[in-house]
Structure 1
Amino acid sequence: MSQHPASSSHDGRINLEQQRKRAKELLLRMKSGAAPEQLSLIPGGPPSSPPILSDAQWLIARQLGFSSWPKLKAHVDAVDFAARHPDFAASDEALTTHWRCGNDIAHSLQLAGFKGHFQMLSDPLCMGPVPNLPAEQYQAVRSRYISEAFEMDSADVARRLNDEYNHLTLLANDEHSVLWCEADAYDQLFLIRALAGLERVPFKLELIEVDRIPGVQRFIGIGQLAPDVLAWLWPQRRPIDEQTVQLARQAWLAYCDSSPVKLAELARGTHRCLPLLAPALLRQLQELPGVRDGLSLTEHLALQFIEEAGPVAFARVFAELMAQREPLPYLGDLMFHALMRPLIDCKTPLLTESDTHLQWPRRLLTLTPLGHQVLKGTAYWLDHGAKERWVGGVCIQAGQPHWMVDDRCMPVWRN
């Protein structure tokens, strides 16, 4: 489902007066017979008498994801009240450490009136090797991967990661911490990593976790939300208990395992204390090679669009995946670029890029003959010299036996 500029909000803010104006405009079109498809959506079918304003308001509310106009109005009032009357003082927010898997909400928290400290773990755990190793070795592996994948200075990366992980070890002793997470693999892996490292449950550790925002048709992440919507989310935090930490430890060990079998079991379960975890793990499993073509889901979706629209700019491919095709968006643009490079920079590429003198987002991508064959399933990508890749602790090497996933997202061993 894509964003419609006239009917949905991107940052979660809904202007009620604007929606009232839209309802009046829609009513005029309905009365003139210019919107028959809208009339057919009204419960009970098109009204026998001329449509009235409440019909148009109901349709506008439904477009924004609400069951009725009063529900839409109540939500707008709740966001407005939260922004004007935050319970920051009552909840000791000034003493709080806000944790996030990036810095995308740091400024918005300040604008919303939050006074606490901000910490982040920027390690993109959804990419590259995530082996079960002692802390020092683990950080060395992650630093090396990040510096190579994103072409960053290795010493700078190592210092930043060391600082972030050192702060994370203090989480158990913080007076009050809140983790801000959404539903995708980037956030859920950050969440289980943070909790799995706890030796004990802190006195006051809370979670703000969201997979949708009323009025936002295509919710990508918390970073897109307006400051007043963050204030509305604040009272919705919930405490993290020992059961939640135990589940996080189990999930983190499964993710770091060299076999995806345990991860697949967790991905197919129902976890009341972390309800968004299983779908994120299931999506991450889809980054393993598919049995038909050897492509991860990200690679398959990208190649599919390039075949349909190519030659097409790198940036447009990323935008299409985020707006339309990706079932659980988790990538930033630089992350997407890093994942696509192995399909280009190898002896038997699946993609070619033109205009290499331009910045990468403007370069045009085209499928090679092998790219077409792989996408059709008549060739298997990992039989043609694809680079080594990882999904958590699972290593996939071209020409070697490896794990795949079938159409039901079940792990399959390929000899």
Structure 2
Amino acid sequence: MSASRTSKSKIFDGRLNLEQQRKRAKELLKSARNRQADAQTRIAAHLPGKSIDDLQLADSQLVIARENGFASWPKLKSHIDRITEHQRQITSGHLPKLDTPETLHLRCGSDIRHGLELAGFAGAFMEFSDPFCQGPVPDVPLPDFIETRARFIASSYRIDFPDALSRLQREYAGLATLGDYDHVVLWFEHDSYDQLILAFLLDFIATLRPQTRLDLICVDRVPGVERFIGLGQLSPELLIWCWDNARAPVSDAMLAFGQKVWPAIRASSPDALRAVIDHGQSPIPCMIAALDRHLRELPDPENGLGLTQQLTLQIIRDHGPITAGKVFGHLMRSYDPLPFLGDLMFWDVLVDMGRTGSPLFTFPDDSAQTPWPDRTLSLTGTGNAVLSGTRNFMELYTGERWVGGIRITGAAAG
């Protein structure tokens, strides 16, 4: 599907070089001894109370290790040694035995498919990528549900409806074959795109009860990746790391939690999902934060904006005039606390924000001939007023959008 994880760019593949890390440690030590403020701040963050006068290379190496997500320098070194060995095996073609041809790798996108093949995984691959984080997710029978989703996808992501419907029907039908495999592994990360799909799959599996071994890989960070956004960032060696270190059996508690969360996502009120979030307990640690981020797409009482809409206006204000593609880059890299959108999904957000009689941002006159990522956005007076809270977007909005099962329309809608 055009809005799936195939559109998320690789930011960092997670490969660490030991010599480079040693060089960084020496540079940090030198900078700290020269009383450079940034170096001193980094030392204080990881070694509170440590005197700069007593600082040794081992101390700066420990800081570098902790900045990379490791408890100690030896653990960083051990990790790099293992990753380097995996890389050597992949390069030489002497791949480790990881799974079997009777294994199925199930992922909400195709972004890791090639990486799994390069790493030596022998199992089949299945994509299920209905993006529940956007569009209506109504509580209706499955055939009607699939048609509703296909109509949204076709309209929002500029896909022919028959193609969208055919693909969704194929993906949903594929789920009925999980019991045909000896081993099914669910590969997911921590954002709402992934976690809402995971909630659906857990609910589905709890009902289907396929006679197969089920494992879950669910990660919110990977050592050596400064800003982990998704599994698609990772090199093949790091996918092996996830397999070795983040894989766990799917428990009855996980299935029961999915059966609780999925109906709450589809509900026409946020109350049930807020109750899950407020309880704060989950057998899937990544899911609570993702559900909270999902509900932050509801209109803010002060300005009527969902969080993505608000951050978009903030980026245009802070950096504009700015192209839509660069707005998306800022959103993914630094502004969004838990980014979840693909590029076409973000374009749909921009289009939807334009459904108002008084625009929040403007385009140049030739925008119709320019690819959307290259179109320049400038904040209007209305956009500034909405962002400051002196006007409410919901009083201007003429469109319709959904947060799960919650339908949102503005006062200006016809």
With normalisation by structure 1, the TM-score equals 0.88
Residue 191 (structure 2) pairs with residue 184 (structure 1): yes
Q: Equivalents in 2 of 1:202, 1:303: separation in Å?
A: 49
Corresponding residue to 2:383 among 371, 386, 396: 371
Count how many residue pairs are aligned between Structure 1 and Structure 2: 391
- Report the CA distance between 1:183 and its aligned residue: 0.6
Q: Is the 8 A contact 1:58 1:68 kept in 2?
A: yes
The alpha-carbon deviation at position 98 of structure 1 amounts to: 0.4
Deviation at 1:380, TM superposition (A): 1.3
Quote the residue 1:12 is aligned against: 14
Choose the corresponding residue for 2:225, options 198, 216, 220.
216
Match in the other structure for 2:130: 123
Query: What letter is aligned with 1:377?
Result: G
SS at match of 2:281: coil
Residues 269-311 of structure 1 show CA distances to partners (whole Å, capped at 9, x for unaligned) of 2334211111111110001111111100000011012112211
Aligned partner of 2:72 among 62, 68, 71:
68
Return the alpha-carbon distance in structure 2 between the equivalents of residues 174 and 220 of structure 1.
30
The Cα shift of 1:39 comes to 4.6
**Matched-pair identity in %:** 42
Q: Which structure 2 residues correspond to residues 46-65 of structure 1 after superposition, within 5 A? A: 46-48=51-53, 51-65=55-69
Inter-CA distance 385–273: structure 2 relative to 1 (3 Å threshold) = closer
Alignment-derived partner of residue 169 in structure 1: 176
Q: Please say if residues 201 and 245 of structure 1, whose CA atoms lie closer than 8 Å, have aligned partners that are also in contact.
A: no
Aligned ranges for residues 341-380 of structure 1 at < 5 Å? 341-354=351-364, 355-356=366-367, 357-380=369-392
Of stretches 391-400 and 296-305 in structure 1, the one that deviates more from structure 2 is 391-400
Corresponding residue for 2:81? 77
Shift of 1:135: 1.1
Deviation at 1:133, TM superposition (A): 1.1
Equivalent in the alignment of 1:399: 411
**How far apart are the structure 1 equivalents of 2:384 and 2:293?**
24
> SS of the residue aligned with 2:407?
strand
Q: Which runs of 5+ in 1 are unaligned?
A: 1-8, 402-415
- Against the structure 1 CA distance between its residues 342 and 269, is the aligned structure 2 distance closer, same or farther, given a 3 Å change threshold? same
Q: Which structure has greater helix proportion?
A: 2
Structure 1 residues 202 and 79: CA distance shift in structure 2, 3 A:
farther
When the two structures are superposed, what TM-score results if normalisation uses the length of structure 2?
A: 0.88
CA contact (8 A) 1:169 1:197 kept: no
Q: Which moved more, 1:39-48 or 1:309-318?
A: 39-48
Residue 109 (structure 2) aligns with: 102
Equivalent residues in 2 for 1:205-354, closer than 5 Å: 205-235=214-244, 236-354=246-364
**Aligned-residue CA RMSD (Å):** 2.4
Kindly indicate whether the alpha-carbon contact (under 8 Å) linking 2:89 and 2:96 is maintained by their aligned counterparts in 1.
no
Query: Would the aligned equivalents of 1:206 and 1:238 in 2 still touch at CA under 8 Å?
Result: yes
What does residue 134 of structure 1 align with? 141
Q: 1:395: Cα distance to partner?
A: 0.6
How many angstroms apart in 2 are the aligned matches of 1:104 and 1:164? 16
Deviation at 1:37, TM superposition (A): 4.2
CA–CA separation in structure 2 for the residues paired with 1:312 and 1:296: 21
Q: Distance in 1 between matches of 2:252 and 2:56?
A: 54
Q: Which amino acid aligns with 2:256?
A: Q
Contact 2:184-2:212 within 8 A present in 1 as well: no
Q: Which runs of 5+ in 2 are unaligned?
A: 1-10
Query: Per-residue deviation at 1:384?
Result: 1.3
